[in-house]
């Protein structure tokens, strides 16, 4: 390859083209999926990879899913070597103990060919509405082992040279509640991956496979060097931050402690969770993939947005995840509620880094993506499962106040319109509002949480409520005040009221109501 082909302008053009391909893949999933958690909440992500599993580009979507695709793709190519792949092949998996994150998130991979050579990999991850298990939505808060949570798919070859394995699809169809929605959403993933592969193949045809590969590897090298320089600009030292989860969903009166030590040494960063709680009975344990995603986000947050977002960014990072702990559990620990844990630990990493860069890190956000899943049968007997992801507030910062009711850090999902929820399930949404006064006071106040109220129009239905910050308030920073804790309760049709202590799986009947308010975020700086 001639030297002029690696000029900065050409490399920057390729970088932008890769980003555009990932965004097109993302758009295909969101426009093609039928499940509201995808088409409305945007709970899916897309990425491109080198054949060795190094990230090339990511869609502007959910950092949690983007980070979790990294170990998933790594596991798939270990099971199915790239050299043996053929055009039309498709691979998938979801097993949290074999490279996955939690059972509803299914990762899918398609190889990208230039001639007979695999030059890249096109991959997506999507939160499927139901994958079986104890409760509709596959997020049972009472789960005490992975077998309660749904159908685990080890690394599998779904299609060989374009022919889908009907046996795999039959197994899946017998184990989930809403197979039609699963199949439709899976096809959205496949379409996105195939489009990404076609676009990359077009780039290879235009530039040549070898020149394109050289530019791709140069982008990764540049990202690593820029990330190391950004880390080196921070002061050396070790900073510790401690926090806790309300409970594990099973032992409701027992908080779950989390401890992180962040060390900057030259141009490298170590994040050590020694001292964090041992794994717990309930489903808030986090498989390493989710923890990696939180660490990746925190690293990108502190190094800045101008660095190309690829695998080179992650090479200066070292993670210490004690085996048998909350952040690296042993089989068969339950893990479906890992989002709460990842959000709290991401806040903790940023809280530790705030000691090194106080003007760059906002106050803690609400650290909650409250998952509310409803499942049952409509009046005509047809099954349904719908899931809401309800946000809290973002923290105040040196740049201004926090934002009300917004998904933050790793969980960049959207609030679903009440009208769409009511069209998908026999529910009436009576209230959608900002929870005024829930943000922490400060020079720049924290963002407020969200109020939502649902009424069951046709029961019974199963409710899974997966909340956080009901017992421990998000802190303020640099003299700012804490956010207000979350609350939730059920108003029974007979007038009874049942408080929810953060997490609950129960049955609601016609006329029952769920009322909830998510936590506000911390304020930044002493109030004027």
- Residue 162 preceded by cis peptide, ω within 30: no
What is the predicted pLDDT for the residue at 5?
A: 57
Average pLDDT, integer, range 485-497 = 97
Which of residues 181, 208, 224 is at a domain's end?
Answer: 224
Q: Quick check: is 133 in a domain?
A: yes
Q: Quick check: is 434 in a domain?
A: yes
How does the average pLDDT of the chain come out, rounded?
A: 95
Q: Quick check: is 308 in a domain?
A: no
Q: Write the burial class of residue 156 (CB in 10 Å: 0-12 exposed, 13-18 middle, 19+ buried).
A: middle
pLDDT digits (tens, 9 = 90+) for 127-173: 999 999 999 999 999 999 999 999 999 999 999 999 999 999 999 99
What is the predicted pLDDT for the residue at 413?
A: 87
Cα separation, 521 vs 194, in Å, equals 40
What is the predicted pLDDT for the residue at 270?
A: 98
C-alpha dihedral, 334 to 123 to 387 to 521, nearest 10°: 80
Q: Quick check: is 468 in a domain?
A: yes
Average pLDDT, integer, range 489-499 = 96
Residues 335, 146 contacting (CB under 8 angstroms): yes
pLDDT digits (tens, 9 = 90+) for 393-412: 999 999 999 999 999 999 88
> CA distances (Å), 302 to each of 48, 223, 295, 351, 520, in order?
23, 14, 11, 11, 23
Average pLDDT, integer, range 500-515 = 96
Residues 220 and 369 in one domain: no
Q: Quick check: is 331 in a domain?
A: no
Average pLDDT, integer, range 362-368 = 94
What is the predicted pLDDT for the residue at 1?
A: 38
Is residue 177's pLDDT more than 80? Answer: yes
- Banded model confidence at residue 415, pLDDT cuts 50, 70, 90: confident
Q: Quick check: is 13 in a domain?
A: yes
Average pLDDT, integer, range 425-450 = 97
> Which ranges of 383-472 would DSSP assign to H, the alpha helix?
418-424
pLDDT digits (tens, 9 = 90+) for 66-117: 999 999 999 999 999 999 999 999 999 999 999 999 999 999 999 999 999 9
Write out the residue range of the structural domain in which residue 472 sits.
362-528
Q: Quick check: is 209 in a domain?
A: yes
Which of residues 197, 224, 251 is at a domain's end?
Answer: 224
pLDDT digits (tens, 9 = 90+) for 223-263: 999 999 999 999 999 999 999 999 999 999 999 999 999 99
Residues 98, 77 contacting (CB under 8 angstroms): no
Average pLDDT, integer, range 363-368 = 94
Which of residues 224, 241, 257 is at a domain's end?
Answer: 224
Q: Quick check: is 418 in a domain?
A: yes
Closest C-alpha among 345, 520, 375, 352 to residue 438 = 520
> CA distances (Å), 51 to each of 25, 118, 124, in order?
18, 7, 15
Average pLDDT, integer, range 195-210 = 96
Q: Write the burial class of residue 387 (CB in 10 Å: 0-12 exposed, 13-18 middle, 19+ buried).
A: buried
What is the predicted pLDDT for the residue at 2?
A: 44
> CA distances (Å), 257 to each of 243, 248, 303, 341, 369, in order?
6, 11, 28, 10, 19
> CA distances (Å), 230 to each of 226, 237, 406, in order?
6, 15, 28
Q: How many domains does the chain have?
A: 2
- Banded model confidence at residue 528, pLDDT cuts 50, 70, 90: confident
pLDDT digits (tens, 9 = 90+) for 2-11: 444 578 888 9
Q: Alpha-carbon torsion 127, 132, 137, 142, what sign?
A: negative
> CA distances (Å), 424 to each of 26, 383, 388, in order?
23, 10, 12
* Proportion of the chain above pLDDT 70, given as a percent: 99
Average pLDDT, integer, range 19-44 = 95
Is residue 350's pLDDT more than 60? Answer: yes
Average pLDDT, integer, range 174-185 = 96
Cα separation, 379 vs 355, in Å, equals 56
């Amino acid at each position: 390859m001639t030297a002029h082909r690696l000029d900065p302008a050409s490399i920057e053009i390729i970088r932008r083209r890769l980003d555009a391909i990932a965004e097109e893949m993302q758009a295909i999933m969101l426009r093609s999926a039928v499940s509201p958690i995808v088409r409305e909440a945007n709970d899916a992500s897309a990425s491109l990879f080198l054949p060795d599993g190094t990230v090339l580009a990511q869609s502007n979507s959910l950092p949690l899913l983007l980070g979790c695709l990294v170990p998933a793709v790594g596991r798939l190519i270990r099971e199915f070597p790239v050299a043996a792949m053929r055009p039309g092949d498709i691979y998938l998996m979801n097993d949290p103990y074999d490279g996955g994150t939690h059972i509803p998130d299914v990762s899918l991979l398609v190889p990208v060919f230039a001639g007979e050579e695999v030059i890249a990999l096109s991959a997506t991850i999507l939160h499927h509405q139901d994958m079986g298990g104890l409760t509709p939505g596959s997020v049972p808060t009472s789960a005490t082992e992975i077998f309660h949570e749904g159908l685990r798919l080890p690394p599998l070859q779904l299609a060989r040279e374009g022919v889908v394995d009907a046996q795999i699809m039959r197994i899946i169809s017998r184990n989930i509640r809403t197979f039609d929605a699963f199949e439709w959403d899976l096809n959205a993933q496949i379409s996105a991956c195939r489009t990404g592969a076609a676009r990359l193949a077009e780039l290879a045809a235009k530039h040549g496979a070898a020149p394109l590969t050289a530019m791709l590897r140069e982008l990764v090298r540049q990202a690593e060097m820029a990330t190391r320089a950004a880390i080196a600009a921070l002061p050396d030292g070790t900073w510790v931050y401690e926090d806790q989860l309300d409970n594990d969903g099973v032992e409701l009166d027992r908080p779950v402690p989390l401890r992180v030590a962040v060390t900057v040494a030259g141009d490298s960063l170590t994040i050590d969770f020694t001292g964090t709680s041992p794994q717990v009975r309930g489903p808030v344990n986090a498989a390493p993939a989710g923890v990696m995603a939180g660490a990746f986000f925190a690293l990108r947050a502190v190094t800045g947005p101008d660095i190309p977002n690829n695998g080179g960014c992650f090479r200066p990072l070292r993670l210490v995840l004690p085996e048998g702990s909350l952040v690296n559990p042993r089989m068969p620990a339950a893990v479906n509620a890992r989002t709460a844990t990842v959000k709290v630990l991401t806040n903790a990493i940023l809280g530790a880094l705030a000691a090194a860069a106080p003007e760059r890190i906002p106050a803690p956000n609400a650290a909650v993506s409250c998952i509310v899943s409803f499942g049952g049968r409509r009046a005509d007997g047809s099954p349904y499962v719908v899931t809401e992801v309800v946000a809290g507030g973002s923290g105040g910062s040196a740049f201004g106040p926090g934002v009300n009711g917004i998904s933050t850090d790793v969980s960049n999902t959207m609030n679903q319109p009440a009208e769409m929820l009511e069209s998908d399930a026999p529910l009436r949404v009576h209230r959608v509002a900002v929870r005024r006064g829930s943000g922490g006071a400060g020079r720049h106040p924290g963002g407020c949480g969200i109020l939502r109220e649902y009424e069951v129009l046709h029961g019974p239905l199963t409710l899974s409520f997966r909340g956080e910050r009901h017992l421990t308030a998000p802190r303020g920073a640099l003299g700012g005040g804490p956010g207000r804790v979350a609350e939730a309760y059920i108003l029974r049709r007979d007038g009874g009221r049942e408080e929810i202590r953060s997490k609950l799986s129960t049955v609601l009947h016609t006329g029952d109501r769920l009322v909830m308010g998510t936590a506000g975020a911390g304020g930044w700086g002493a109030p004027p």
